[in-house]
């Protein structure tokens, strides 16, 4: 894919929209009422939809910019970390889980920065993509939280997040091994 410098394109606009959805979710979670939390879950689904669509359009139309390459993963991290932090005082997720997720994200971002200094790109692997899927579904379930349709959304969300943490540390190990071979050569 060729990178261009035109930052005014649909994938980048969708990424910016994803960032702008974060304060809406943040605000809705302050009400601590089930109906607002359901709205927060809907906005989260909307935000995740923009993530899927912007990537699809960028690949399909070959619209890749340095700005978009930089902003897309940051938008994802802002979305995920903000919501997870907001879920701690609601007693939906233990703080230790959020800390582990944040540490992993900082570690991988650091590895990618070091590789980037050498002109290398470390793409997301299959395990990392599975981690993200479990994490996103886990957050969605934790936002809904209560029992609906005989499903305890809070419990399912907890286990999805826990499984995503296990996958994230496994993928971090794989990233580290792969990156150290490239960086040290």
Ordered per-residue pLDDT tens for the chain, 185 residues: 445 566 778 888 999 999 999 999 999 998 878 899 999 999 999 999 998 888 888 888 888 777 777 788 889 899 999 999 999 999 999 999 999 999 998 888 888 777 777 776 666 678 888 898 899 999 999 999 887 788 888 899 999 999 999 999 898 888 777 777 666 66
Range of the domain at 50: 1-91
Beta partners for residue 151, in sequence order:
148
Whether 99 maps to a domain, the answer reads: no
Contact residues for 108 (Cβ-Cβ < 8 A; gap 6+): 172, 175
Q: Helices 66-87 and 34-60, interaxial angle, to 10°?
A: 160
Shared-domain flag, residues 87 and 127: no
**Contact criterion met (CB below 8 Å) for 142 and 154:** yes
Shared-domain flag, residues 70 and 130: no
In sign, the C-alpha dihedral spanning 9, 12, 14, 17 is negative
Shared-domain flag, residues 87 and 126: no
């Amino acid at each position: 894919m060729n990178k261009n410098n035109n930052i005014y394109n649909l994938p980048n606009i969708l990424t910016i929209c994803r960032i702008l959805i974060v304060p809406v979710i943040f605000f809705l979670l302050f009400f601590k009422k089930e109906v607002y939390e359901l709205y927060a879950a809907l906005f989260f689904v909307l935000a995740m939809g923009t993530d899927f669509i912007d990537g699809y359009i960028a690949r399909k139309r070959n619209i890749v910019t340095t700005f978009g390459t930089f902003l897309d993963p940051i938008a994802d991290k802002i979305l995920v970390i903000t919501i997870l932090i907001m879920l701690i005082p609601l007693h939906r997720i233990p703080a230790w889980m959020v800390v582990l997720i944040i540490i992993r994200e900082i570690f991988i971002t650091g590895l990618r920065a070091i590789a980037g200094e050498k002109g290398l790109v470390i793409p997301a692997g299959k395990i990392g993509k599975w981690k993200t899927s479990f994490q996103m579904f886990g957050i969605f379930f934790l936002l809904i939280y209560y029992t609906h349709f005989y499903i305890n959304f809070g419990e399912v969300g907890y286990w999805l997040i826990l499984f995503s943490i296990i996958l994230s540390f496994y993928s971090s190990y794989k990233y580290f091994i792969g990156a150290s071979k490239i960086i040290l050569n």
